[in-house]
Amino acid sequence: MRETAHYRITKFRSAVRHFFMGRTIQGVASLLVTLWLIRLLSAQDYGEYMTILGLVETAVPLTSLGILEATRRFLPELVQKGGKNNILEFIVSAFLVRVFIIIVCVLIIIFYWVEITGWLGFEKTGAKILLITVSFMVVVVLFRYVAEMLECLLEQRFSQLARAILPVGQLIGIGALIIFKGSISLEQILALSLGVAFVCLFLSVTLLLRQVCRLPDGSFKGVPLKTIISFAWHMAGANVVQLVSGFGVLRMIVANRLGQEIAGEFAFLQQLMQIVERYLPANLFSNLIRPMFISQYTISRKLVVINSGLNLMWKSNLIIISVITIGLIAYGDQIVAVISGGRINKGGTILALMFIGLIASSQRQMLEMAMQILKRTKELRILAMVTTVLPITVWYASEHGLFGVSCGLIAGSVIWNCFAYGWMIHWQERIEFDWSGALRICGSTVMISMVILYLEQSSIVIFGISILSYVFLLLFMTPFTSSEIGLIEKVFKT
């Protein structure tokens, strides 16, 4: 991996350390918040709270219109080629555009608030809930965007600090409310989250401006505006179309079809999966390695390191998901019952299916990242049309409960991957997936899972032996290539 002025290996290693520290704190705090709220709030309030979070999650891509993706793609290139004034101009312009878009989105929500909450089955639809919800949406969307900019600069220490404050602040606030009030309501948890998110936004903006002002001046005139607009335009089309298959929309479909209580169960299982998903290599390192990949590609125009890196993350995802799936096959119902405090007693199979779906969605993430690096956003926008099948499938499959919903999620990801990879193999510049290594990982998982199902027992001894057998199978089959192992050694050597 070739070193560049800003994106040095030493800076990358420092970013990795801060990244792990911040993500660990976020993960633990987010999990505690989730487990605490499902015990404190009523089933209806918890369902409404998770649906509001779904609205916020939906607003992130809806209000992006390609601006977020353009920032991820071109900010590292601007930093690499130099020019502090160009970088500052790009950041301020992109931020103001994002503010304008989110304000338009909020006005639409306010206008149709009664219809939206009625369709979702909300009991609380007053002006207070509306004000807190839209304010929380604005602040969270802008905070995440500024944090993304910090990560594009490899400033993980500041990004992770700001991100960690949100769940930690929520946790402290919930504890304080319980101590002084004795209980907590939906309005209180939303107001608390809004206050903490505003602190995070202010801190992240301050840190971003400080770091940009410390960058050296340069003579580079910047990326042509036409190139950025074209990139953002195609990504905007992809985001809007993909929006219909986002988790937030799926939660709203489940709420409409199966009621708020079942939607709460679905959102809880989905939240558990997302907490784990955040720590899968494809997600964990995406904002770390993307600017490094773009920097390498900007200089050499070669895909060797990108190929190795994406395959390494994808196969690492497969291994971790496989271990979790084996555990859920053995102890799924018990694990979900304990974590939910007895509120959900039969969620193991649904959660296992959700994790199986991550196998396909993690590969999709690699394909999308490759297309963005190669500026193939026009093709990505066209492929986004395939995702419109997913909500339709989930809508009709929901007649079979959450089992049907989970199967629909898996089918949607697989269909998209087939279309995308079938198109990509005809390009001169493309990502070559190591199917042989992936099949060895999946084959080992199927073998161990079949043994557990055949024995029809779930003792700790059998589970332990199964995991050890899985590890030995992987060591024997060696799913990683020499170039992938060499990449690990180069990045993490002391």
DSSP notation for 208-249: HHHHHHTSPP-----S-HHHHHHHHHHHHHHHHHHGGGSHHH
Q: Do the domain assignments include residue 130?
A: yes
Q: In this structure, are 228 and 340 located in the same domain?
A: no
Cβ atoms of 295 and 7 within 8 Å: the answer is yes
Cβ atoms of 262 and 409 within 8 Å: the answer is no
The pLDDT tens digits along the chain (494 residues) read: 444 556 667 777 777 788 878 888 887 888 888 788 878 777 777 777 877 887 787 777 777 777 888 888 888 877 777 667 778 888 888 889 888 888 888 888 888 777 777 776 676 666 777 888 888 888 988 998 898 888 888 888 888 888 888 889 888 888 888 888 777 777 888 888 889 999 999 999 998 888 888 777 665 566 667 777 777 777 776 766 666 666 667 777 887 777 777 777 787 888 788 777 877 877 777 767 777 777 767 666 666 677 777 888 888 888 888 888 877 877 777 777 777 776 777 777 788 888 888 887 777 777 777 777 777 777 777 777 777 777 777 787 777 878 888 888 887 778 877 877 777 777 666 677 778 888 888 777 777 777 776 666 556 666 677 777 777 777 777 777 777 777 777 666 65
| Among candidate residues 476, 444, 478, the one with its CA nearest the CA of residue 326 | 444
Phi/psi at 199 (nearest 5 deg)? -60, -45
Q: Do the domain assignments include residue 297?
A: no
Q: In this structure, are 251 and 335 located in the same domain?
A: no
Q: In this structure, are 226 and 338 located in the same domain?
A: no
Q: Do the domain assignments include residue 296?
A: no
DSSP line for 16-78? HHHHHHHHHHHHHHHHHHHHHHHHHS-HHHHHHHHHHHHHHHHHHHHTTTTHHHHHHHHHHHH
Q: Do the domain assignments include residue 268?
A: no
Q: In this structure, are 447 and 347 located in the same domain?
A: yes
Q: Do the domain assignments include residue 104?
A: yes
Q: In this structure, are 9 and 94 located in the same domain?
A: yes
**Euclidean distance between CA atoms 444 and 397, whole angstroms:** 30
Q: Do the domain assignments include residue 235?
A: yes
Q: In this structure, are 319 and 188 located in the same domain?
A: no
Cβ atoms of 281 and 20 within 8 Å: the answer is no
Six token digits for residue 258: 């199966």
What's the count of helices (H) and strands (E) in the chain, helices before strands? 21, 0
Give the list of residues 6+ apart from residue 86 with CB closer than 8 angstroms, or none. 78, 218, 220, 221, 222
Place of tokens 């030493």: 10
Give the HSE-up count for residue 428: Cα atoms under 13 Å, Cβ half-sphere: 2
- What domain range includes position 142? 1-259
**Euclidean distance between CA atoms 132 and 191, whole angstroms:** 6
Cβ atoms of 121 and 259 within 8 Å: the answer is yes
Q: In this structure, are 369 and 247 located in the same domain?
A: no
Using the 3D structure, point to which of 199, 234, 259 is the last residue of a domain.
Answer: 259
Q: In this structure, are 23 and 163 located in the same domain?
A: yes
**Euclidean distance between CA atoms 415 and 420, whole angstroms:** 9
DSSP designation for 388: G
**Euclidean distance between CA atoms 409 and 393, whole angstroms:** 8
Classify residue 399 as exposed, middle or buried by CB count within 10 Å of its CB (0-12, 13-18, 19+).
Answer: exposed
Q: Do the domain assignments include residue 284?
A: no
Q: In this structure, are 6 and 115 located in the same domain?
A: yes
Q: Do the domain assignments include residue 17?
A: yes
Report yes or no on whether pTM surpasses 0.75: no
Using the 3D structure, point to which of 206, 234, 259 is the last residue of a domain.
Answer: 259
Give CA 127 to chain center in angstroms: 31
Other CB atoms within a 10 A radius of the CB of residue 229 amount to 12
If one counts the domains in the chain, the total is 2
Six token digits for residue 147: 């944090």
Using the 3D structure, point to which of 199, 224, 259 is the last residue of a domain.
Answer: 259
pLDDT of residue 218: 61
Q: In this structure, are 321 and 190 located in the same domain?
A: no
Q: In this structure, are 118 and 229 located in the same domain?
A: yes
Q: In this structure, are 235 and 328 located in the same domain?
A: no
